[in-house]
Homo-oligomer: A and B are copies of this chain.
Amino acid sequence: MELKNDLLLRTVRGEAVERPPVWLMRQAGRILPQYRAVRERLSGFKELVETPELAAEVTIQPVDALDVDAAILFSDILVIPEAMGLSYEMVEKRGPLFPETIRSETDIERLLSGEEAAGRLGYVYEALEVTRKNLAGRVPLIGFSGAPWTLMAYMVEGSGSKTFSRAKRLLYQEPALAHRLLGKITQTIIAYVKEKARHGANLIQFFDSWAGILSPEQYREFSLPYLREACSAVSEVPVTVFAKGAWFALPDIARLDCQAVGLDWNISPQEGRSRVGAEKILQGNLDPCYLYADPEKVSEATRKMLEAFGSRHIANLGHGVYPDTPLEGVHAFVQTVKGYRYHRQ
């Protein structure tokens, strides 16, 4: 199906475009009343993730309501650990919880991986198909996946954590086990995102949400090699890597086989470009909290950000939009980008 709005894809291909495309991480979610209405009818978060028609519905909501340049399939990064055999719960106001965690070599050996694990995620691929059909080519569809280290962190820690000290302890005490686990996760991620591309994802974004709690040395040992393997394996569609907090690793990330690199709001666009180099498209990076400000201030900050990035840029926040963000702020952000033009003078 030909896309009516292919601005995002033209941008990641490095073509000259009229303005940057815009979408928001977590745009399908609690910021939208339409989403909250769907969610209230359901038993919980996982019912939404696992029901293709509903996942497709909330995926398309922000395309209608916010007029963004891309849809991102509503899902969760923890579907992969679950497919590998470690099921998770989503506890209201607390976040994810794994009743069982990875403790030993036996636990790791027991996990499914690769196509065998990815094959259990039929509901995701079906959600992609339904979304693609209902989107009818309006905008490209992004599929995402957790990065290997981030998924490992949850599988060992068992929940979110300020320090992830249990997961990091494994890196220091049993590095060989950690590598074995990361290898199995990576094989699953590869099979999963290839399947996603086959079912209609036009771009894949890897989220390394917990990159920033590793030291530069550990990031190079336990995250980068696996990200590299995953990026290189996905040749079907373009790839974005977003490693939150990993400013120190940006020069390495810039050498991955990916098209775009996400930046969080801790780095200025100028410093981001200087660390990543000229080749990649940059994505980001307004502080999500900026959207709490008056719409005029949001527009002003957004324009300033666009000027600072210049071309080869995908406009986004520096992290997922916060659930209590006022819609006026979100609209101001999106509309400012959509009204912007490169080389206006």
Chain A residues in contact with chain B, CB under 8 A? 160, 162-163, 165, 168-169, 171-173, 212, 214-218, 245, 247-248, 265-268, 271, 287-290, 292-294, 297, 318, 322, 324
**Per a CB cutoff under 8 Å, which of B165, B248, B297, B324 touches A266?**
B248
CA distance in complex: A267, B246 (Å): 10
Given contacts A266-B216, A268-B216, contact A292 B172 (CB under 8 A): yes
CA distance in complex: A162, B218 (Å): 23
Tell me which residues across on chain B come within 8 A of A324, comparing CB atoms: 165
Closest B residue by C-beta to A318: B215
Closest B residue by C-beta to A211: B266
- The answer to whether A292 touches B173 (Cβ under 8 A) is yes
CA distance in complex: A165, B271 (Å): 25
Tell me which residues across on chain B come within 8 A of A160, comparing CB atoms: 162
- The answer to whether B248 touches A289 (Cβ under 8 A) is no
Tell me which residues across on chain B come within 8 A of A162, comparing CB atoms: 160, 162
Given contacts A172-B289, A172-B290, A268-B216, contact A165 B245 (CB under 8 A): no
- The answer to whether B248 touches A268 (Cβ under 8 A) is yes
Tell me which residues across on chain B come within 8 A of A248, comparing CB atoms: 247, 266-268, 271
- The answer to whether B271 touches A172 (Cβ under 8 A) is no
- The answer to whether A172 touches B267 (Cβ under 8 A) is no
Given contacts A212-B266, A215-B287, A247-B247, contact A297 B165 (CB under 8 A): no
- The answer to whether B163 touches A322 (Cβ under 8 A) is yes
- The answer to whether B268 touches A169 (Cβ under 8 A) is no
